[in-house]
Amino acid sequence: MLSVADHATGAPGRPADRFDDLFRQLYPRLVPLAERLLGDRGEAEDLVQEVFLRLARSGQSAPDDGEPLLDRPDEVVGAWLRRVVLNLGANRLRDRRRADDRVLRAVRLDGALDPERRPTDDDSPPHALLRAEARDEVRAALTALPERQRACLLLRHAGHSYAEIAATLGIALGSVGVYLARGERAFRAAYAGDPSTTGPDSDQGTTS
Amino acid sequence: MTTICPDAGRLRAWLDREGPSPDDHLTSCEACQATLGALERDAERAARVLAPQTEPPTAAETERALARLRSRLDDEPASQEAASAGAMPAGAMPHAPTGRAPVSLSPNGMAPLAETSAAPRRTPTPVALVWRRWRLALGGVAAALALAFALTTPEGQAAAAGFLAQFRSQRLAVVTFDPNQARQTGLFRFEELGTVKNNQPNNRPSEVANVQAAAGQAGFPILQPDPTTLPPGAAKTPKVRYAPASETRLTFDREKARAYFDSINRKDLALPDKLHGATLAVALPPVVTLEYPAADNKPAVMIGQAREVQVRVEGSASLDEVRNFLLGLPNVPPELARQLRSIQDWTSTLPIPVPVDKMTWQETTITGAPAYILNDNTGLGSGVIWQRDGRILGVAGPLKATELRKIAESLK
């Protein structure tokens, strides 16, 4: 019986270094994407590990509409990995917001607690707080965008090509520029604190 | 020279050198020059703010990450092999292709990994895929949702023992899961822990004469859309299907659970004494679906309606104790468990499972009620699902979310 590790390290019928090659090729590109989404390098690395873990596990079973993922072309696997990074990242952000809400409720009861403070060895608390606030502003602006616009911005500014973005989001290649143009305009407005040009209807006119 | 101004999307692509050059047109079109300038400023601003905060992982860091991943994978083989030996169809293994059909939820959402008979693999058409997913969501998956609910209650919530209808769905919450992982770990293999019975084993929707007939059988009035909101070409009279209520019961059995834990080399696990003989009962409500066919007779819009789902535990254990036990099982992915635990109103919130690699979702409202819009990742279709007045409602189709919303909001 093949184990999960067998699939990840190369089992009979599959090039021994297929999984390793994919990891070496895509891990350095996925971590910045996850980091931009989550705002934390360590959490991003953990998320991408989780995504590759799922890829390794997927080698044991066929998806319900085709051959096993690891038997598919690199660009298909890459698109799958990016999609799962975005979806899992969004999940974590939602979980974090729920947790933040709970912390904020606690802070109201105990003013000495600071939910934003995540001190590191070389950061003073005020600087850490400022950085956390800036990070949260970016995240809040991104959150205000319709989902595909947000995904396009994240992918593009993490260095992915239009073809990769289209494959990841399942949209036409020609739509990528449209989503980017709208997304960047909405992001500018949201980041500047102007909600007038953002909103869930901004995706209208393209696919949704 | 092109006389028609390119749209902003084409100009934006050209900025990234990802599209054809409109150079000739740009030199003579002030409007396009202005648009391009605005696009460039927006793009530069986004690039500045969204630029990676740190350098990408180096080769050495990547190798270390790969080593860590290997270490995690090495910890998994025993349980994965056992799970596979117990439930994975041989044809689903990548190195023994036998042409088996991929595993999917049964119409009642139960025990999806227990398939044993060989069947030829069929490649579903895109439309078939969309409708299969939405029929599951609207018509049959509620039982799986409710069983998933049994895993959901957050820590610290205690339920009184021996009461009935401990759960009654009043609202919905999305939880995402990885279908590959769920299939592989045997997430829904409840039959390994006891005896699973369904009082309607062949509970498939059957066509009824009309909406009034369905309402009579279901016991609730059927909401219908404003015909003007339906897509052009769609029939104004729906095909009406009805699936009766059913109940699935899992009675826990100490010996069966023991054998299962032994088979996955987890001799440290055991069925709690209080659970032996206790029954988890999931009551799936009657479901009515209205299908509005297009001119080619393929579904253009599908509307599903059902009463609430109920779950109860019979015997000496409480639903909370059952949930705690199930959450501790080794085949429940931590990510899924974490999401389920985070649901606050656990006695009234029905989880909607969304496959993480196939669908995306967003929160919205339909006539004031919280709702979820789900989009197929491949752009094949969308759906919206919500609960209102004790009724679970869903609208799905190969349409834009905005079109589905209009249909949903017109239901009366």
Structure tokens at A91: 């999940």
Q: Residue B285: how many CB atoms within 10 A of its CB?
A: 23
Q: CB contact, 8 Å: A186 with chain B?
A: no
Q: CB contact, 8 Å: A101 with chain B?
A: no
Mean pLDDT of B246-265: 87
ipTM over 0.85: no
Q: Residue B170: how many CB atoms within 10 A of its CB?
A: 16
Structural element, H or E, at residue A188: helix A173-191
CA nearest to B348, candidates B150, B167, B154: B167
Q: Is B350 helix (H, G, I), strand (E, B) or coil?
A: strand
Q: Residue B101: how many CB atoms within 10 A of its CB?
A: 17
Residue B358 has pLDDT above 50, yes or no: yes
Mean pLDDT of A180-203: 67
Residue B411 has pLDDT above 90, yes or no: yes
Percentage of chain B surpassing pLDDT 70? Answer: 67
Could you list the beta-strand ranges (E) of B22-76: none
Q: Which of residues 79-98 of B touch A (CB under 8 A)?
A: 80-81, 84-85, 88, 92-95
Q: State residue B300's pLDDT score.
A: 85
Structure tokens at B181: 């992982």
Which chain A positions have a beta carbon within 8 Å of B63's beta carbon? 24
Give the β-pairing of B349-355 and B171-177. parallel
CA dist., res. A103 & res. A68, Å (int)? 42
Q: Residue A132: how many CB atoms within 10 A of its CB?
A: 16
Which chain A positions have a beta carbon within 8 Å of B73's beta carbon? 3-5, 8-9, 53, 56
Q: CB contact, 8 Å: B191 with chain A?
A: no
**Residue from the list B9, B39, B95 with its beta carbon closest to the beta carbon of A174:** B9
pLDDT 10s digits, A9-19: 444 444 457 88
Q: State residue A76's pLDDT score.
A: 87
Q: Which of residues 218-257 of B touch A (CB under 8 A)?
A: none
Q: Which of residues 272-291 of B touch A (CB under 8 A)?
A: none
Q: Distance from A170 to chain B by nearest Cα, in Å?
A: 4
CA dist., res. B232 & res. B323, Å (int)? 47
Question: Does the beta-carbon distance from B357 to A98 stay under 8 Å?
Answer: no
CA angle at B59 for the pair A162 and A41, rounded to the nearest 5°: 70
Question: Which of these ranges, B162-171, B243-252, B384-393, B400-409, has the smallest mean pLDDT?
Answer: B162-171
Q: CB contact, 8 Å: A25 with chain B?
A: no
Asked whether the whole model's pTM tops 0.95, one would answer: no
- Cβ-Cβ pairs closer than 8 A, A with B, add up to 238
Number of continuous H segments (helices) and E segments (strands) in chain A: 8, 0
Mean pLDDT of A63-77: 74
**Residue from the list A154, A178, A204 with its beta carbon closest to the beta carbon of B9:** A178
Alpha-carbon torsion (B303, B307, B309, B314), positive or negative: negative
pLDDT 10s digits, B84-95: 322 222 222 222
pLDDT 10s digits, B210-247: 999 999 988 889 999 999 999 988 999 999 998 888 88
CA dist., res. B306 & res. B135, Å (int)? 13
Question: Which of these ranges, A69-73, B28-32, B117-121, has the smallest mean pLDDT?
Answer: B117-121
Which has more pLDDT, B27 or B167?
Answer: B27
**Residue from the list B65, B181, B360 with its beta carbon closest to the beta carbon of A147:** B360
Q: Which of residues 124-163 of A touch B (CB under 8 A)?
A: 138, 147, 153-154, 156-159, 161-162
Q: CB contact, 8 Å: A205 with chain B?
A: no
Which has more pLDDT, B114 or B70?
Answer: B70
Q: Distance from B241 to chain A by nearest Cα, in Å?
A: 26
Cβ distance B91 to A68 under 8 Å?
no
